[in-house]
Structure 1
Amino acid sequence: MLLTSQPLASADEVRDSQWPLSVYDAEKVWRTSKGAGVTVAIVDTGVDSSQPDLTGQVLPGRDFTGSGNPQKDSVGHGTSMASLIAGRGSGPNGESGVIGLAPKAKILPIKVDISRDGGDTASWAAGVRYAADQGASVINLSLDDSSSYPGSKAARAIEYAQSRDVVVVAAAGNDAGTVNYPAALPGVVAVAAVDKNLTPWSKSNTGGVIVAAPGVDVAQVDPTTSSGYAVADGTSGSTAYVSAIVALLRSKYPDLTAGQIINRLIKSASFLNNTGRTVPDKELGYGIARPGTALTMDIPKGPKQGPLAQPAGSTSTNSGAASGDERNSSQAIKGKGSSSGGILLVVGIAAAVIAVGILFALLRKRRNGGGSGSEGGMPHTGAVLPSEPSASYRQPSGATYGGYHAPPGQPSPDAHDPQAQWPPQQGQ
């Protein structure tokens, strides 16, 4: 579980500790979207639906541990994530407790075993498939599991969810190493954490990060404490915030595909006060996710598959037919073959003409007595068929990062943005 926490003394203290809402200017964000109509699946330790901050927010869900009830959470981790995403506060008019960034989204609890690398990979992989089948458009994976490498059962489950137009968001990890699986899988939004100063958290994993979000000293519901609340550090929390932002976007832009939502998330991210960085940054990826900007920035839809790398072997909905590029390429190959055949025909005719000419000259020379003067000789023409210029392919400069390119002008080795657009470096 990618989170460490300390209990908070009271519910009143919680509201004052929700600094991410202030940073994101949540009140302004909610004028545009609160996540209504969106289901976020939390594949975790369950979600305690009896918590006052989550009243009416938790759907029935499903348990994959054998304990029976996905709306019970003896560990508290899944409930904490749910509160950051869709908490509605408690007390009179919701004036106390935790409010999530997408307070009108619904939570689908998927109860699994996610203890660090000792959990049941099969259970959460099955949970991912279940979430996709139940209509969740966002799946939050605040977990790590080295068994979810490419080609594994878990990776295939994520690919299945992605094929169902689901945005999968996962935690980068908390051990200051490289981004863990499943966050490192193709097409998954890998999330790092930043602190109150919006600087990278020292324990957040790096290299392969897509975006970052608040994850340090974050107040959240925790049913295992006496007050019911805690303040915690971890990429678990930052992942929940990005899942909430995706929920806001999916509510505001229901016509966009999962890939296009990710495109909007990435294009609106910014380094903010982290000056001197270039995309893709090892610690922040494409920047800190910004809900207000993501909701309102003028961003072209982009391709349906989005900017991130796709899983190997993934196919489009038209996989049974060749794409336009494939058809054109095939035709080009056929055309090249026909051209080569034409050249061979011309060469053959020319050779035949030359051979006939030589034979005619020899016969004439013999008939004329074998004279060696120019009058009886065959002049050397020196003519050859011109060779076609050799076709060459120049690899574009720089490799892509997660299937996405840095924008023009950035002093990054992978500097090329096919859409020629990049977010401003300030604002939320």
Structure 2
Amino acid sequence: MHFDRRTLVKGVAGLAATATITGTASAADGRTQYIIGANGNGVADAIEAAGFEVRHELADGDVLVAVGPSDAAADIESVKGVKTANPDLKLELDEPEVDAEAAAESAPSDGAALSDLQWDKEITDVFEAHEYATGEGTRVAIVDTGIDLNHPDLGNVNKDLGRAFVVDDDVPEIGPDDSGSHGTHVAGTVGATGESSVVGTAPDTELIPIRVFPANGGASFGDILAGIDYAAEIGADAANFSLGIPGVQQPGSELNKLKAEVQTVFQSAVRRGTVITGSAGNDSGSLQGSGFTLPNSVPAAFTVSATSPADTLSFYSNFGTSDIDIAAPGGWYETIPRTLGEEGAGEPGDIPFPENGVLSTIPVEQGKYGYKSGTSMAAPQVAGLAALVRELEPNANASQVEQAIQKGAEGANGKSDSEFGAGIINALNTVERLSDRK
């Protein structure tokens, strides 16, 4: 299999699961979807009386998602109790353009014990941490493309609690099953059981599949927010969303209009005890100051940057002290030449490409196991660690769980490193600190 610089750069967006904005979100019948900031009881009823269909009531009714005619935001804002109304947007995952046959040849042999290839778990001392906690009695929601419901290493998926929130669903019959592969990979990073080949950070947690993507097309912000709200409703200890808008936005961006409603829903979930882990984005961009991405650039999100097998910031990862809370392995190195193993670019002992990506589960029909890289792969490492913390400290609130993870991190001083936030996670340090308090 041959990977050159052009192939790698072309594939970064897909492998790292950056999303592109594909336009306004709409229902199957063509009506436009709106995200609405509401204030007061009875607003949903008033909006429906005005001729709109309310699909979701979130954060105790403070945020509504409704569909209706296009160019009708002003009509919604005229309803008593409505603060803001903005057309929703769709985000579509870019799929990697890598030869599937060649990729399959480089993947580990089917049925082998593959934990020795999980460098991400080794450098964060996850396996040693399992002497203290495995996530037993906890629940982690995966807000993504769904999860393969028949994967041998994902027998801990709760199919009954799984849900699909998709405004224009082209595969409603699959429910919370995976409409792609991204969600299954994320789920395995969080909680693969090791029954067959790979082990997640919290192998005994319960995984909840929340699908917000159709098979073809994008996820809407409204459906992502509905997924987060549902995760809190069912008492998830953590909810992971490894997706977001591309590029670093500025205050004048149209997307800035959605920040208040994102924060309202996220904060509501956090108050109910759910840690929300989010990927920082894969644009090599600075989030310092006024720059932002969504949904992760709100205070309630626990935002994760991506690191390499050498504990350096991966070349694609966004950064910035105003956004980054923590760092975790996401794969690849700090430069493209080192990632590809070009002569003179690396260090002795470097892991070759593509094995320097994160190995996890993918749908059975796609090969069961595969490598992906990105901040999408970093965030679920933290969601799994949140489950370990909650097993040991079941009464800890979301802020206390985040603080425990930050205090156990390595490689940064305090919480203000622009690349790593409070540092790179270390599962063993985190659980040992909690165990020592008992």
TM-score, normalization by structure 1 = 0.63
Residues 9/269 of structure 1: CA separation in 2 closer, same or farther (3 Å cut): closer
Counterparts of 1:47-126 in structure 2, within 5 Å, are 47-60=147-160, 61-65=162-166, 66=169, 67-89=172-194, 94=195, 96-113=196-213, 118-126=218-226
Aligned to 1:268: 408
Residues 50/185 of structure 1: CA separation in 2 closer, same or farther (3 Å cut): same
> Whole-Å Cα distance in 1 between the matches of residues 163 and 216 of structure 2?
21
**Cα deviation digits, residues 360-409 of structure 1 (max 9, x gap):** xxxxxxxxxxxxxxxxxxxxxxxxxxxxxxxxxxxxxxxxxxxxxxxxxx
- Alpha carbons 1:117, 1:145 under 8 Å: kept: no
Aligned to 2:302: 189
Alignment of 1:252 with 2:380, yes or no, is: no
Alignment of 1:211 with 2:287, yes or no, is: no
Alignment of 1:37 with 2:137, yes or no, is: yes
> Whole-Å Cα distance in 2 between the matches of residues 287 and 54 of structure 1?
29
- 1:10 Cα offset (Å): 2.1
Q: Which amino acid aligns with 2:388?
A: L
- Alpha carbons 1:10, 1:227 under 8 Å: kept: no
Question: More displaced, 230-239 or 150-159?
Answer: 150-159
Counterparts of 1:206-245 in structure 2, within 5 Å, are 206-207=319-320, 208-216=323-331, 217-223=357-363, 226-245=366-385
Residues 294/270 of structure 1: CA separation in 2 closer, same or farther (3 Å cut): same
- Alpha carbons 2:180, 2:215 under 8 Å: kept: no
Alignment of 1:156 with 2:271, yes or no, is: no
Aligned to 1:285: 421
**Cα deviation digits, residues 133-172 of structure 1 (max 9, x gap):** 1111211010113748664433322122112121111000
Q: Which amino acid aligns with 1:80?
A: H
> Whole-Å Cα distance in 2 between the matches of residues 116 and 102 of structure 1?
31
- 1:114 Cα offset (Å): 8.5
- 1:9 Cα offset (Å): 4.3
Q: Which amino acid aligns with 1:62?
A: R
- 1:186 Cα offset (Å): 0.5
SS at match of 2:197: strand
> Whole-Å Cα distance in 1 between the matches of residues 120 and 282 of structure 2?
19
Bigger Rg, which one: 1
> Whole-Å Cα distance in 2 between the matches of residues 242 and 153 of structure 1?
24
> Whole-Å Cα distance in 2 between the matches of residues 86 and 212 of structure 1?
19
- 1:298 Cα offset (Å): 6.2
5+ residue gaps, structure 1, are 302-428
> Whole-Å Cα distance in 2 between the matches of residues 116 and 253 of structure 1?
41
SS at match of 2:198: strand
Q: Which amino acid aligns with 1:43?
A: V
- 1:213 Cα offset (Å): 0.6
Q: Which amino acid aligns with 2:165?
A: F
Larger fraction in strand: 2
Q: 1:145 aligns with which of 245, 254, 259?
A: 245
SS at match of 1:262: helix
Q: Which amino acid aligns with 2:267?
A: E
Residues 244/278 of structure 1: CA separation in 2 closer, same or farther (3 Å cut): closer
- 1:13 Cα offset (Å): 7.3
SS at match of 2:153: helix
5+ residue gaps, structure 2, are 1-13, 18-95, 247-254, 288-292, 332-356
> Whole-Å Cα distance in 1 between the matches of residues 306 and 229 of structure 2?
27
- Alpha carbons 1:137, 1:167 under 8 Å: kept: yes
- 1:118 Cα offset (Å): 5.0
**Cα deviation digits, residues 32-61 of structure 1 (max 9, x gap):** 100011110111001111011102333421
Higher relative contact order (CA 8 A, sep 6+): 2
Residues 124/292 of structure 1: CA separation in 2 closer, same or farther (3 Å cut): same
- Alpha carbons 1:178, 1:205 under 8 Å: kept: yes
> Whole-Å Cα distance in 2 between the matches of residues 281 and 162 of structure 1?
24
Aligned to 1:295: 431
Question: More displaced, 200-209 or 4-13?
Answer: 4-13
Q: Which amino acid aligns with 1:236?
A: S
- 1:296 Cα offset (Å): 1.8
> Whole-Å Cα distance in 1 between the matches of residues 433 and 126 of structure 2?
16
- 1:71 Cα offset (Å): 3.5
Counterparts of 1:318-337 in structure 2, within 5 Å, are none
Residues 71/279 of structure 1: CA separation in 2 closer, same or farther (3 Å cut): closer
CA RMSD of superposed structures (Å): 2.7
- Alpha carbons 1:63, 1:111 under 8 Å: kept: yes
Residues paired across the two proteins, number: 292
Residues 268/25 of structure 1: CA separation in 2 closer, same or farther (3 Å cut): closer
- Alpha carbons 1:35, 1:251 under 8 Å: kept: yes
Aligned to 1:168: 276
